[in-house]
Amino acid sequence: MALVSEFLGQLSLNIGTESKYPTVVPALDFDPDRDASRIETAIKTKGVDEQTIIDILTKRTYSQRREIAFAYEKRAKKDMITALKGALSGSLEAVILGLMKSPVQYDASVIRGSIQGLGTDEDTLIELLCSRSNTELMEIKSVYKELFKKDLEKDVAGDTSGNFAKLLLALVQTKRAEPSAIVDFEKIDSDARALYEAGVKRKGTDVNTWISIMSERSVPHLRKVFERYRSYSPYDMQESIVKEVKGDLQNAFLVLVRCIENKQQYFATRLQEAMKGKGAKEKMLTRVIVSRCEVDLKKICAEFKANSGQSLQQAITEHTKGDYQKALLSICGPEQ
Ligand SMILES: [Ca+2]
């Protein structure tokens, strides 16, 4: 056992560079029975004691919340998620129920929501499929099948078309190489040249070449490819995408490249988009904060402040209100 965990520890040191910046961390002195009993009382309280529910569930990790739900079911003889659904409403309900899902279940549900029904929410679909790692996408595919008895690839193919569909499907097929300890300068150079020759250098765009390079190479390799790209092209990769392709395809390539270059900065700009003007796009705000809080939200906070000059906590205070605001601020934790 010790050997396995040492090995896993090493593995995450090498590849899990984004999983080390959570704002939600395991609560110390954790007692699931005590938490379950407090939540039971809070739900039963006339008018519902939202504050207690927020205080507990936003300060526990997903695995701790699962334990609380078990303890709750044992004592109340009821499912805790169903009880929370009945007690809460609106944006606060969306945050708390989001926290009760595992990150992979949450992502799978968001994807399902974006392709279900009439029309497609391309913007959300792009965010999810272009920002998740290969390993995450593999897990999402299997959980998607488990939850909805549907094949993610078929659903994506059925709801999108043309080169945009090709790009998303290539990502869902999860063919991306794992990072290698050896830096292959020749391949970096040939990929950079191929991207240039397939786009800026020729008339039209050979989208298939772009797709295969950007969906099959490892992230550290691609970072070097995009640097090298500048020695061939007068425009950087993002500028080239804007010049070469349009619409959803352009948006998807851009998100992909931005996430390869700096994923936390991408999410920081998403949060800025969600809080432009008066009020907030609450779905987008909730989604980014809930899905990243155990991954890299702390780093996203730093990027947000660097980009906008204002802390994420200040922005949330300005653009949201009530229990929803309290829940988001509690998940983000104090300003660093
Ligand atoms: Ca061209």
> CA 117 to CA 120: how far, in whole Å?
8
Say how many Å lie between the CA of residue 203 and the centre of ligand 1: 4
CATH number for region 103-172: 1.10.220.10
Say how many Å lie between the CA of residue 314 and the centre of ligand 1: 43
pLDDT above 60: residue 233: yes
Say how many Å lie between the CA of residue 200 and the centre of ligand 1: 4
Helices in 26-180 by DSSP H: which ranges? Answer: 32-44, 50-57, 62-76, 80-87, 90-99, 103-115, 122-131, 134-148, 152-159, 162-172
Say how many Å lie between the CA of residue 206 and the centre of ligand 1: 8
Say how many Å lie between the CA of residue 38 and the centre of ligand 1: 62
* Bigger pLDDT: 13 vs 151: 151
Cβ neighbours of residue 45 closer than 8 Å, sequence gap 6 or more = none
pLDDT above 90: residue 14: no
Percent of the chain with pLDDT over 90: 91
Domains of the chain, residue spans: 103-172
Say how many Å lie between the CA of residue 304 and the centre of ligand 1: 34
13 pLDDT band, cuts 50/70/90, is very low
Say how many Å lie between the CA of residue 232 and the centre of ligand 1: 14
Say how many Å lie between the CA of residue 183 and the centre of ligand 1: 29
Given this model, what pLDDT does residue 151 score?
Answer: 97
15 pLDDT band, cuts 50/70/90, is very low
Say how many Å lie between the CA of residue 249 and the centre of ligand 1: 15
pLDDT above 60: residue 17: no
Say how many Å lie between the CA of residue 245 and the centre of ligand 1: 9
Mean pLDDT of the region 22-34: 97
Percent of the chain with pLDDT over 70: 94
> CA 276 to CA 166: how far, in whole Å?
32
Note the pLDDT tens digit of each residue in 293-330. 999 999 999 999 999 999 999 999 999 999 999 999 99
pLDDT above 80: residue 10: no
Can you say how many angstroms the Cα of residue 297 is from the centroid of all Cα atoms in its chain? 10
Place of tokens 């063919």: 175
Say how many Å lie between the CA of residue 336 and the centre of ligand 1: 45
Given this model, what pLDDT does residue 31 score?
Answer: 98
Say how many Å lie between the CA of residue 199 and the centre of ligand 1: 4
pLDDT above 80: residue 5: no
Query: For the residues of 149-185, what is the DSSP string, one character each?
Result: SS-HHHHHHHH--HHHHHHHHHHHTT-PPPP-SS--H
Given this model, what pLDDT does residue 120 score?
Answer: 84
Are 32 and 71 spatial neighbours (Cβ–Cβ below 8 Å)?
Answer: yes
Say how many Å lie between the CA of residue 261 and the centre of ligand 1: 23
77 pLDDT band, cuts 50/70/90, is very high
Mean pLDDT of the region 18-39: 93
Note the pLDDT tens digit of each residue in 278-301. 899 999 999 999 999 999 999 999
Given this model, what pLDDT does residue 19 score?
Answer: 58
pTM of the shown model: 0.92
Query: Is the sign of the CA dihedral 95, 101, 107, 113 positive or negative?
Result: negative
